[in-house]
Chains A and B, each alone.
Chain A
Amino acid sequence: MSEQHIDGEILTARQVALLAAIQNRLIPAQDEMPGAGDAGCAQTVDGFLKERTALRRPILAALNEIEATAGAYAQASADDEASTHVAFLALSDAERDAALRAVEAAHPDLFNTLLRQTYTAYYTNPAVLRILGWRPPQPEGYPTPPPFDEKLLDNVKRRGKLWRDA
């Protein structure tokens, strides 16, 4: 593991590490943008799982499928499995992406749940939103645009009545 992970509310430290590594492939670091795992989205998703029990089964199943697929890749490339507790972490970036694509194809519903929750965690992360320039909708709202110009409707008005008498 590249860094120490601790147990979450629902996920074990091993699952947090696996999820963070997956998330760094789903939304990788690029320019000023952090990778989703590095931004703390695994811990955020762990929080979602605590609050929303219905998410636990698909997210845990997705993690299991990805890890199982990664295990097969690791074996195929004759890696030493004992060197890590998380097979996915033993893979190269290209192998990680291949494992993710395999699970996405085989279990689209599970994968999409994991993807959706990762996206939700990332784009509600205050640090990410700050970099992107997003702020909450209130209290400022957005600037009031110029008043509507009724002249724009002249052509529509010229066509006359469009409804049926009844």
Chain B
Amino acid sequence: MAPERDVADVLIIGAGASGAAAAWSLASGGLDVVCLEQGDWVDPTDYPHHSPDWELHRQTDFAKDPNVRQRPEDYPLNNDDTPIVPLMFNAVGGSTVHWSGHFPRFRPSDFRVKTLDDVADDWPLTYWDLEPYYEENDANIGVSGLEGDPSGPPRLPRQTPPLGLDAAARAYIRGLKKLGWHWWPTENALITAPFGEGRQACNYCGPCDMGCPRGAMSSAHVTYWPAALAKGARLITRARVREITVDRRGRASGAVYYTPDGGIAQQRARVVIVACNGVGTPRLLLNSVSSLFPHGLANSNGLVGANLMFHPIAFVSGVFSDRVDGHAGPVGLLLHCHEFYETDLSRGFVRGIKIQLCRESGPVSTAIGNFPGEAVPWGAAHHRVQRERSAHSLAIAIMVEDLPEAHNRVELDPTLTDSNGIPAPRVSYTVSENSRRALDFGIARARELLEAAGATEIMHQALARNSGWHLMGTARMGDNPGKSVIDRYGRAHDVPNLFIIDGSIFVTSAAVNPTSTIQALALYVSDWLKHNFREVA
């Protein structure tokens, strides 16, 4: 039977990494899918990469912080009570429009931290449950890299080869060999050779963090969305959802949203999936108040918004006497070191760190000290120091596993709203003592590495404020309805036809970038939903 057009089988809210993957999967399974997205398609001609003032756009319309960017589709955040600012992009493709594209998988131990290390909680699923979905996702979007990394389980050959061996890589490898540490070329959501339709391979231009005008980054708007639309999924852009509606039985019935002209519309659906990221999802659920759910949807235990995890990040920057051309090549992608990834309590903290060996960017980035956190001095020495650092610097990112703590949370701000009057999020977060010790350990290791690599000057930024790329934990997954928001299949304990699939469902954060795992989870949940749709709907 043809679906009623006014009642979709599935409504997905949010067209980012997870929403796009789910839209493709569910539409491929024959379900009628509608997606509401508050942003729009990014016009490929809008990217600043062709313009002399391209670095200015990091501080304006392509800034990663929505409070700075202030596009009409952005919503404000109250960040007064957090040392790390949440970063995101609101558009078709979500934050995959402008990201580094580092695409590691979680390790098996990352799903078992309670059992192995007696901290936080185990996930209700394992690496091996997700493994087929990791592979499926990689095959769908195109991942560059090299299989065989001994710091994680085996995997199928990557879709395109690893990034090439440039001056930056050679400098790092020099240091890594001296120290005898683990290293491997990064896995990247970026193609280094032809893959997919309408996409060009990376040409090493550098600023992936402002988007990719070539379609080389395997972002959701160039991978999953064209495929999902071809399968019949419907995507409604510039549709800002105010609340998820429920029927008298307490089941999700759809969503009310604002149209671009400020009007109000409704989309009804048999199943609702929330995919708005670790800040946007709790915000929407907390804004979806009704007589049946007076404290917000799926929030009977008060855990919606709690346990916010970032990956606290420190940057350590090295200056080399020889050119390393840090601006030439994907800014965040090169090599990674997992020497210190698994727990070793003798280091003074539990769980581990990732050492991500990155590059640099253009002359503005160098001058303002984007990575080292220390600007080039002004005055008589300015030109000399700028010359010494420009094209001669590399930056290392230290990423640590952030453990869940209930007091780190997303709530609704009592006064701040977006342009439609919808209450905005307020973020409260502190860096834990364990994370601080892990960061300090990582900074010391990165300094050792840069020294071994031959850096002549080393600077560090102990905690990068603009580093809240990874938003996790605010609607956590679990078997115990008293301790989690959704079950092992992504279904809300309180609302049987409501699913959540973005980073908010993470139980723990691992010490690696989350998007590979977010998309694998979205495919896993979608697969379960396809097979159980009649029962759920």
**Which residues of A are in contact with B by a Cβ distance under 8 Å?**
25-28, 30-31, 33, 51-52, 54, 97, 100, 112, 115-116, 119-120, 122-126, 129, 132, 134-150, 152-153, 155-157, 159-166
> Is the contact region of chain B dominated by helix, strand, or loop, or is it mixed?
loop
Instruction: Tell me if B129 is interfacial: C-beta within 8 Å of chain A.
Output: no
| Known interface pairs A124-B53, A148-B165; 16 further A-B residue pairs with C-beta atoms within 8 A, sorted by A's residue number | A27-B378, A31-B383, A115-B375, A116-B375, A119-B376, A120-B56, A123-B362, A141-B203, A142-B325, A145-B204, A150-B146, A156-B184, A157-B148, A163-B153, A164-B108, A166-B109
Instruction: Tell me if B139 is interfacial: C-beta within 8 Å of chain A.
Output: no
Say how far B58's CB is from chain A's closest CB, in angstroms. 9
Q: Convert B354-367 into 0s and 1s, putting 1 for each residue whose CB lies closer than 8 angstroms to a CB of A.
A: 00000000111001
12 contacts across the A-B interface (CB closer than 8 A): A30-B383, A116-B368, A120-B59, A123-B363, A123-B364, A124-B52, A124-B55, A142-B327, A157-B150, A162-B151, A162-B182, A166-B107
Which stretch in B110-118, B420-428, B468-476 binds the other chain?
B110-118
Question: Which residue, B53, B109, B148, has most C-beta atoms of chain A within 10 A?
Answer: B53
Instruction: Tell me if B126 is interfacial: C-beta within 8 Å of chain A.
Output: yes
Question: Looking across the interface, which residue of chain B has its beta carbon closest to that of A54?
Answer: B68
Instruction: Tell me if B480 is interfacial: C-beta within 8 Å of chain A.
Output: no
Question: Looking across the interface, which residue of chain A has its beta carbon closest to that of B210?
Answer: A137
Interchain Cβ contacts within 8 Å, total number: 166
Query: A136 to B50, Cβ gap below 8 A?
Result: yes
- Please indicate the chain B residues that have their CB under 8 angstroms from the CB of A146 in the complex: 164-165
8 Å CB interface, B101-132 against A = 107-109, 111-112, 115-116, 126-127
Partner of A163, one of B202, B342, B364, B376: B342
Query: B60 to A52, Cβ gap below 8 A?
Result: yes
Query: A148 to B162, Cβ gap below 8 A?
Result: yes
Query: A124 to B364, Cβ gap below 8 A?
Result: yes
Say how far A127's CB is from chain B's closest CB, in angstroms. 10
8 Å CB interface, B146-170 against A = 146, 148, 150-153, 161-166, 169
- Please indicate the chain A residues that have their CB under 8 angstroms from the CB of B68 in the complex: 54
- Please indicate the chain A residues that have their CB under 8 angstroms from the CB of B378 in the complex: 25-27, 100, 115
Query: A143 to B204, Cβ gap below 8 A?
Result: yes
Partner of B363, one of A129, A142, A152: A129
Say how far A8's CB is from chain B's closest CB, in angstroms. 17
Question: Which residue, A116, A135, A143, A162, has most C-beta atoms of chain B within 10 A?
Answer: A162
Say how far B48's CB is from chain A's closest CB, in angstroms. 8
Partner of B182, one of A97, A144, A159: A159
- Please indicate the chain A residues that have their CB under 8 angstroms from the CB of B152 in the complex: 163
Taken together as a complex, chains A and B put the C-alpha atoms of A156 and B169 apart, in Å, by 16
Given known contacts A142-B328, A147-B161, A155-B177, A162 and B184 CB-to-CB distance under 8 angstroms: no
- Please indicate the chain B residues that have their CB under 8 angstroms from the CB of A135 in the complex: 52
Taken together as a complex, chains A and B put the C-alpha atoms of A105 and B535 apart, in Å, by 67
Instruction: Tell me if B258 is interfacial: C-beta within 8 Å of chain A.
Output: no
Query: A134 to B204, Cβ gap below 8 A?
Result: no
Query: B367 to A148, Cβ gap below 8 A?
Result: no
Query: A144 to B177, Cβ gap below 8 A?
Result: no
Instruction: Tell me if B379 is interfacial: C-beta within 8 Å of chain A.
Output: yes
Taken together as a complex, chains A and B put the C-alpha atoms of A115 and B367 apart, in Å, by 10
Taken together as a complex, chains A and B put the C-alpha atoms of A163 and B379 apart, in Å, by 50
Query: B341 to A162, Cβ gap below 8 A?
Result: yes
Taken together as a complex, chains A and B put the C-alpha atoms of A100 and B380 apart, in Å, by 13
Question: Looking across the interface, which residue of chain B has its beta carbon closest to that of A111?
Answer: B378
Query: A164 to B150, Cβ gap below 8 A?
Result: no
Question: Looking across the interface, which residue of chain B has its beta carbon closest to that of A97?
Answer: B379
- Please indicate the chain B residues that have their CB under 8 angstroms from the CB of A52 in the complex: 60
